[in-house]
Every structure is written in structure tokens, then in C-alpha cells.
Structure 1
Amino acid sequence: MEEILSKTIQDQCDDTCHGTSNIDVLKEQLITDQIVGGLAEVFKALGDPTRLKIIHTLLNKELCVHDIVQVLGMGQSAISHQLRYLRNLRIVKRRKVGKTVYYSLDDEHIEQIFVQMLQHVKHS
């Protein structure tokens, strides 16, 4: 069955394929399963509306949990849980001053991803 499927696919693309040497190069350049897994986790994190709101809230300003709770109108437990999830993925980082913990985006890569996707969604 696999041989028949392979032959059918080959028959369909003979006119447009560039040969096996390009395939070999593409295979060598393929990202590892570990990197794919990491990317999938980040995109999974960005697939949650609450986490997106947190990221948007932190886009321009470092905030403590209490401030994020006030901005989003959600419970502290729920926000803390989401912040922990985002921190484990290195999407946000924390800074402790006395008993107060401040959160911000981990680096500009997260900001760039978020801003680019926001512009994409708003683009008509």
C-alpha cells in the first residue's frame, strides 16, 4: 500500500519537483524534535486567551500580580497559575522586591512575536 501511495505521489509531482538533492538538503536543515516540541509549547501557551491578555498587559510595563489581577478582573489564584505557566516557558520573568514580585516579558522575542501576530490579526 505504501509503495502504491509513494508511486502516486511521485507521479503527481514529477513535473514540479527539483530532484532528490534538494530534499536531502531540506532534511539536513530540518529542526530537531526537541526544538519542535519547544515551539509547540510556546504556541500552545499563546493559544490561551487569559495568557494572551497577561502578555498584552505586560507588553509595556512591569507589574505585580495584584496589578495584573486588577487590570484583567480575575482572581489572584488564576493569574498566579498562568504566570507560573508562562514563567516555566520563559515567556515572562519575575523580579522580587521585598515581598512583592514583579512580572515582565522575558525578552524582546516574545514582544516581537506578540506584536507581529497582533498586527496580523488586525490587518484587514
Structure 2
Amino acid sequence: MQAAVWKNRQRNLRPDACTRTKAQTLQETGLQNPKANPGIKPHALSSDDLTLLAETFRLLGDPSRLKILAFTIDGPKSVTDIAETLELSQSLVSHHLRLLRGARLVKWQRQSRQVFYEIDDSHVSGMLLDMIAHIQEGDHDH
């Protein structure tokens, strides 16, 4: 993926973001309907891009990593807060955050002796919120 796709962007998400509808999420994050974005051509991805995309989705396939992403969607959280709230060991959280940071899914900021993590940008939060909304829609005929 291009570095420009993952540039840090300001967003204004509230803590109850996981309960929002897709339309609300798109409106609040300033995201557009991906089908309406003519600049994205999924069929024209290079082999390297496809490999990177597959690796990103593989990283997202771990429930602990998804819990960490969902927990950090509304703003920066310390490693200690993440570990305690999600009932995961601090070393496991640090391991997952290192992988998520390497994939540019989270960003970090040091404040004194603590490091705070949050979702990297609106692409990541929008994708996560879209998928949450998708599974919460329940079973329905297509």
C-alpha cells in the first residue's frame, strides 16, 4: 500500500463509536463510500500490494488484536490501560502493538515514561467500524 494511504489524519470519534450506524460513522469520520472513490482500483493491485493487503488482514485475524484496535478507536490508551481493561498480559499487549504498529494500523506517542497507542487514521477506524456494523446487521437475505 502507498504510504499516503496511511498518513495520520485527525478524526473526531466518540467512545460509543462501535454502536454507530455505518452512515453515522462515514459522516463523522469524513470517509466517503469506497465504491464512490474512483482513485481506488482494487483490480489493479500489484502482487506486492496484494501480499501486503493479505498480511494486514492476517494480522486482523487475531481476536486480541481486534480487541486492542476496538479499545483504541476513541483515542490514545496506555499499554497498562489496554492490558488491564482487556485482561491481557502487558507483554502480550506489547507484542500485539508492535505488530500492529509495524503494519501502520496503530500509532504511538510517548508522554514522559508512558507510551500511548491509538488507531493510526480514519481508514483503519472506518474499516473496523464498517466491519463491526456489518456483523451487527445480523443474518439477512441478499
Other-structure match for 1:73: 87
Query: Are residue 123 (structure 1) and residue 137 (structure 2) matched?
Result: yes
* Aligned mates of 2:46, 2:88 — CA distance in 1: 38
Pairing of 1:35-54 with structure 2 (within 5 A): 35-54=49-68
CA drift at 1:79: 0.3
* Aligned mates of 1:39, 1:47 — CA distance in 2: 13
* Aligned mates of 2:83, 2:60 — CA distance in 1: 19
Q: Which runs of 4+ in 1 moved over 2 A?
A: none
* Aligned mates of 1:106, 1:61 — CA distance in 2: 10
Number of aligned residues: 96
Other-structure match for 2:48: 34
- Partner SS, residue 60 of structure 1: coil
AA matched with 1:55: L
Query: Are residue 88 (structure 1) and residue 102 (structure 2) matched?
Result: yes
Q: Quick one: higher RCO (CA 8 Å, sep 6+), 1 or 2?
A: 2
Question: % of aligned pairs identical?
Answer: 35
- Partner SS, residue 65 of structure 2: helix
TM-score, normalisation: structure 1: 0.75
User: Unaligned regions of 5+ residues in structure 2, if any?
Assistant: 1-42
- Partner SS, residue 47 of structure 1: coil
AA matched with 1:45: L
Taking only aligned residues, the RMSD between alpha carbons, in angstroms, comes to 0.9
Higher helix fraction (1 or 2):
1
Other-structure match for 2:115: 101
- Partner SS, residue 50 of structure 2: helix
CA drift at 1:31: 1.1
Query: Are residue 62 (structure 1) and residue 76 (structure 2) matched?
Result: yes
* Aligned mates of 1:30, 1:103 — CA distance in 2: 33
TM-score, normalisation: structure 2: 0.66
CA drift at 1:61: 2.0
User: Unaligned regions of 5+ residues in structure 1, if any?
Assistant: 1-28
